[in-house]
DNA sequence: CCTCCACCGGAACGTGAGGAGT
DNA sequence: ACTCCTCACGTTCCGGTGGAGG
């Protein structure tokens, strides 16, 4: 029975109305397009800064900043790839510092880089300074000038401080090769928290990525949809709608592309003849839901309990939820499930984390005589809450 | 103007899991 | 077997604080 159904599903898929997609990958995050509309200036700027490396000179470090989905990563990778193609003596190393378990600590960052350079390094166990030596040795032996692209560099610094950057930018003892850093950050005020010396050497050059406006987003979408969608698969106004929605969100091109891709997938799934504006609306809902569900599901047990407490209290209609209320409810949840109760200090951090992940929203307020606390709100729609609840309650058993 | 609540949030430290090297 | 590493997660300790009420 089950096999029969599976078979049917696949068969149906193959025989169903022709797919709207020509090349689905062209809408995905990892796709590197040939052209980047409205980023010509940034590309040229970066290229001019990096060009001297073709003749073996050390180039300036670069700091690139702008909101998410403004093309920073794209530009960096695009230019780096071209540089690598032009000269065998240049080795761009791209690394995303936010990647948990890969590059979110000093050790892991260096280990990962060494690995890319062909070294076998254990995931743990060695002292950090030894990893440094391995990395430096790998760079030297490689005889290539390294252009190190550190994406989401702000995450790294927030977690472990700026001392690595200090070492990397000023203290490296490289004899034969050179290393330059391209730092990429979503957070514009990030450099203010840096040690002044690090700041000055990291941002010898700066490139700003302003948000895209709706018209520019449309250009991007048109460009990509030519590659990714079959001709006339999109209803009139679909692209405009995606662009408009993403423009509301600080001009995030990634969001625009996601909307378009998901809308296409939804249309395909329901065998609609074309992708309609209605699909875009549904896509927006789905993106939000998927994001939240994914985050909630991946939370550790204690964090789920905290969130469960918050949602139960909020659903119960308690207005002006504060940390103390959540904690006492959370205590009960723990007692019922015979789970260890974390300290208020820890729970406070968990609440702050949920906030920074965008699941809840909190604000530190003072109630004068009655103390200072976080006021907690749950900005999730009831349908999203309904989806989340079972996931959280599952943790109770 | 001062007090004092109910927390906030920084910092140092502890634990136990993963693993290296000798 | 033993000492040494990192690192996630948590605890302990504690100084700080905006503003309602006296």
Q: Which nucleotide is nearest to A366 (CA to C1')?
A: C18
Confidence of residue A2 (pLDDT cuts 50, 70, 90): low
Task: Indicate yes or no: pTM above 0.85.
Answer: yes
DSSP 3-state of A63: strand
Distance A369 CA to B2 C1' (A): 12
Q: Is the CB of A197 under 7 A from strand C?
A: no
Nearest CA to A165 among A207, A200, A129?
A200
The H or E element containing residue A6 is: helix A2-15
Q: Which tokens go with A90?
A: 């240049």
Distance A181 CA to B14 C1' (A): 37
Q: Cα(A142)–Cα(A92) distance, rounded to whole angstroms?
A: 12
Q: Which tokens go with A7?
A: 């078979």
Chain B bases having any atom below 7 Å from a protein CB: 3-11, 17-21
Predicted confidence (pLDDT) per residue in A309-357, tens digit: 999 999 998 888 999 999 999 999 999 999 999 999 999 999 999 999 9
The overall longest dimension of chain A from CA atoms, in Å, is 70
DSSP 3-state of A244: helix
CB A253 within 8 A of CB A68: no
Name the phi and psi angles at A101, rounded to 5: 70, 0
Going across the sheet that includes A372-377, the strands are A321-322, A372-377, A361-366
Q: Are strands A62-65 and A205-208 parallel, antiparallel or unpaired?
A: parallel
Instruction: Give mean pLDDT, residues A361-380.
Output: 96
CB A202 within 8 A of CB A181: yes
**Which pLDDT does position A3 carry in this prediction?**
63
Q: Cα(A103)–Cα(A107) distance, rounded to whole angstroms?
A: 8
Neighbour count for residue A273 (Cβ, 10 Å): 11
Q: Cα(A100)–Cα(A292) distance, rounded to whole angstroms?
A: 18
**Which pLDDT does position A182 carry in this prediction?**
96
Residues (321-360, chain A) with CB within 7 Å of strand C atoms: 340-343, 345-346, 349
Nearest CA to A223 among A21, A355, A35?
A35
Residue A359 reports pLDDT greater than 90: yes
Distance A127 CA to C5 C1' (A): 5
Q: Is the CB of A390 under 7 A from strand C?
A: no
Distance A375 CA to C2 C1' (A): 51
Predicted confidence (pLDDT) per residue in A273-289, tens digit: 899 999 999 999 999 99
Q: Which nucleotide is nearest to A104 (CA to C1')?
A: C7
Residue A377 reports pLDDT greater than 60: yes
Neighbour count for residue A159 (Cβ, 10 Å): 12
CB A20 within 8 A of CB A267: yes
Confidence of residue A171 (pLDDT cuts 50, 70, 90): low
Distance A129 CA to B9 C1' (A): 31
Number of H helices, E strands in chain A: 16, 8
Q: Is the CB of A88 under 7 A from strand C?
A: no
Q: Which residues contact residue A358 at a Cβ distance below 8 angstroms, ignoring those fewer than 6 apart?
A: A295
pLDDT above 70 as % of chain A: 96
Residue A146 bridge partners (DSSP):
A91, A179
Exposed e or buried b for every residue in A349-377, given b needs 16+ CB within 10 A? ebbeebbeeebbebeeeeeeeeeebbebb
Confidence of residue A66 (pLDDT cuts 50, 70, 90): very high
Confidence of residue A18 (pLDDT cuts 50, 70, 90): low
Instruction: Give mean pLDDT, residues A104-131.
Output: 92
Q: Is the CB of A366 under 7 A from strand C?
A: yes
């Amino acid at each position: 029975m089950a096999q029969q159904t599976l078979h049917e599903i696949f068969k149906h898929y193959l025989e169903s109305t022709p797919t709207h997609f020509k090349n689905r990958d062209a809408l995905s995050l990892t796709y590197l397009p040939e052209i980047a509309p409205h980023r010509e200036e940034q590309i040229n700027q970066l290229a001019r800064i990096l060009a001297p490396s073709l003749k073996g000179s050390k180039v300036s470090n670069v700091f690139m900043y702008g909101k998410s989905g403004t093309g920073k990563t794209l530009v960096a990778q695009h230019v780096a790839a071209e540089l690598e193609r032009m000269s065998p003596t240049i080795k761009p190393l791209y690394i995303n510092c936010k990647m948990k378990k890969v590059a979110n600590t000093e050790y892991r960052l260096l280990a990962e880089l060494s690995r890319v350079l062909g070294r076998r390094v254990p995931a743990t166990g060695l002292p950090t300074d030894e990893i440094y030596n391995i990395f430096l040795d790998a760079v030297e032996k490689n005889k290539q000038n390294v252009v190190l692209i550190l994406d989401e560099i702000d995450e790294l610094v927030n977690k472990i401080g700026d001392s690595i950057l200090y070492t990397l930018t000023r203290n490296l003892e490289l004899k034969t090769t050179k290393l330059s850093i391209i730092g990429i950050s979503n957070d514009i005020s990030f450099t203010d928290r840096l040690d002044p010396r690090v700041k000055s050497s990291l941002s010898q050059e700066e490139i700003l990525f302003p948000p895209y406006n709706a018209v520019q987003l449309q250009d991007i979408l048109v460009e990509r949809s030519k590659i990714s969608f079959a001709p006339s698969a999109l209803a009139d106004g679909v692209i405009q709608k995606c662009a408009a929605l993403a423009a509301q969100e600080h001009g995030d091109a990634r969001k625009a592309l996601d909307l378009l891709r998901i809308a296409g997938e939804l249309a395909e799934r329901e065998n609609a003849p074309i992708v309609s504006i209605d699909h875009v609306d549904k896509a927006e809902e789905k993106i939000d839901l998927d994001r939240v569900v994914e985050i909630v599901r991946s939370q550790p047990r204690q964090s789920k309990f905290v969130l469960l407490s918050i949602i139960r209290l909020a659903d119960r209609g308690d207005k002006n939820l504060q940390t103390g209320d959540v904690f006492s409810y959370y205590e009960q949840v723990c007692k019922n499930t015979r789970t260890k109760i974390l300290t208020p200090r820890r729970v406070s951090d968990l609440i702050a984390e949920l906030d920074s992940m965008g699941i809840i929203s909190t604000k530190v307020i003072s109630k004068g005589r009655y103390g200072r606390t976080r006021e907690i709100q749950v900005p999730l729609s009831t349908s999203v809450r309904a989806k989340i609840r079972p996931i959280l309650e599952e943790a109770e058993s």
